[in-house]
Amino acid sequence: MTTTSNPLPGYTQAPVQTATARLLSLDLLRGLTIGFMILVNNNGSSHAYWALKHSPWNGFSPTDLVFPTFLFLVGITTVLSTAARRAKGVSRQSLFLHTLKRTIILYLLGLVVNSFPFFNLHTMRFYGVLPRIAICYFIVATLYLLSPGWKNKVAIAVAALIGYWVLMRFVTVPGYGTPTHQIPLLDPDRNLAALIDRHIFSASHLYERTRDPEGLLSTIPAIATTLMGLLTGLWLRTNNSLRRKANAIAIAGLSSAALGALWALEFPINKKLWTSSFVLYAGGLSLMLLALAIWIVDARRSKQSEVKNGRNPLVFTFLLVFGTNAITAYVLSELLASALASVHIGHMTLKHWIYSGILAWMPDSGISSLIYSLGFVAVCWLPVYVLYRKRIFVKI
């Protein structure tokens, strides 16, 4: 996919290449991830179906797969885009400065998304989805620039997962006690990650007041998630056949998910704490999704040919719209959601007013919530589709 001649400030959707050809499956999987992220982040009400809500604490739902899959894809595209630029002769210093610039912009965008429309410093949230993406991207991209090999990345990922488990399982939480002894393992508020967040920020700056799902300590295993993507990107750049690559990715995914499920017996799967078992389980599912996408899309050369000639299936177009302007779509959705929650019609927010109208027409609260969510996705898709049609891909 060519870049636009009218770039806008924002997030770079770098060209996705392997050693031999572009992988359309990455754009499609990214589009699916962002589309589902917008869907589940904007349920019409708390009566949304189970699959469209995060697990309250320990456990796993399809919604819990969204964010780790996006970080996983960040790791892949970091390898592919960096390698492509290095092949063109761009220096490591220039790439590092570019990485730093992207990191700062992503983090600042996160503050805008978190604070819109009031920008109250007293309640500003400094953690969040975009800040975590920025931090993980910066660390993983820097590691790759320093050393393009895979062995040290495996060592760092393993150290991050085991180290985080040791911290959360064995380290005494000041004022509360040792997990599994004086306090339960992964107690919602009496855990090391939550305590660190409360020491850094007051309750008004934390998403859940006593803790933050994108807090400081849990960024350590999130880096491991991104490294899983980086390692996958390295594998995709090898000279193996595409089918062999997909098969190996599927086997790695199945193994990772199984290992995560086994580790969960000792260290429960928990998205809000980004536990090590969660990293392996969600990462395994992300790997299997990628393998499936490669089998369905890239392994079928005739399908690729159709897309290149502009005859892509409708579902491909829908996903590519989100996938080629992913951060733009996400930021737009978050700003729109904040606006709907801030504007009032009488005693109701605009969001509640719209949902109430749907509920009056469709009394089932679960279906009404889903209709609201689907409508919200459609509203966000339309302006991004205009960018897609004009070949505008928002860049840093």
- pLDDT reported for residue 291: 97
Does 342 map to a domain?
yes
Residue 100 to residue 171: CA distance in whole angstroms: 33
Q: Are residues 335 and 113 in contact, defined by beta-carbon separation less than 8 angstroms? A: yes
- pLDDT reported for residue 274: 98
Does 188 map to a domain?
no
Q: Are residues 246 and 299 in contact, defined by beta-carbon separation less than 8 angstroms? A: yes
How many independent structural domains does the chain possess? 1
Q: State the residue range of the domain holding 24.
A: 1-53+300-396
- pLDDT reported for residue 4: 46
DSSP state of 348: E
Does 378 map to a domain?
yes
Does 380 map to a domain?
yes
Residue 277 to residue 262: CA distance in whole angstroms: 8
Does 83 map to a domain?
no
Does 129 map to a domain?
no
Residue 250 to residue 285: CA distance in whole angstroms: 9
Task: Name the phi and psi angles at 358, rounded to 5.
Answer: -65, -40
- pLDDT reported for residue 21: 58
Of residues 18, 3, 32, 14, the one with CA closest to residue 285:
32
Residue 97 to residue 174: CA distance in whole angstroms: 40
- pLDDT reported for residue 56: 94
Q: What is the pLDDT along the chain (396 residues), one digit of tens a residue?
A: 334 433 333 333 333 443 445 789 999 999 999 999 999 999 999 999 999 999 999 999 999 999 999 999 999 999 999 999 999 999 999 999 999 999 999 999 999 999 999 999 999 999 999 999 999 999 999 999 999 999 999 999 999 999 999 999 999 999 999 999 999 999 999 999 999 999 999 999 999 999 999 999 999 999 999 999 999 999 999 999 999 999 999 999 999 999 999 999 999 999 999 999 999 999 999 999 999 999 999 877 544 454 555 556 788 899 999 999 999 999 999 999 999 999 999 899 999 999 999 998 888 999 999 999 999 999 999 999 999 999 999 876
Return all residues near 212 (Cβ < 8 A) that are at least 6 apart. 125, 127, 197, 201, 206
- pLDDT reported for residue 301: 52
Does 360 map to a domain?
yes
Task: Name the phi and psi angles at 209, rounded to 5.
Answer: 70, -50
- pLDDT reported for residue 305: 53
Does 27 map to a domain?
yes
Beta strands in the chain (DSSP E): 344-345, 348-349
- pLDDT reported for residue 5: 35
Q: Are residues 267 and 166 in contact, defined by beta-carbon separation less than 8 angstroms? A: no
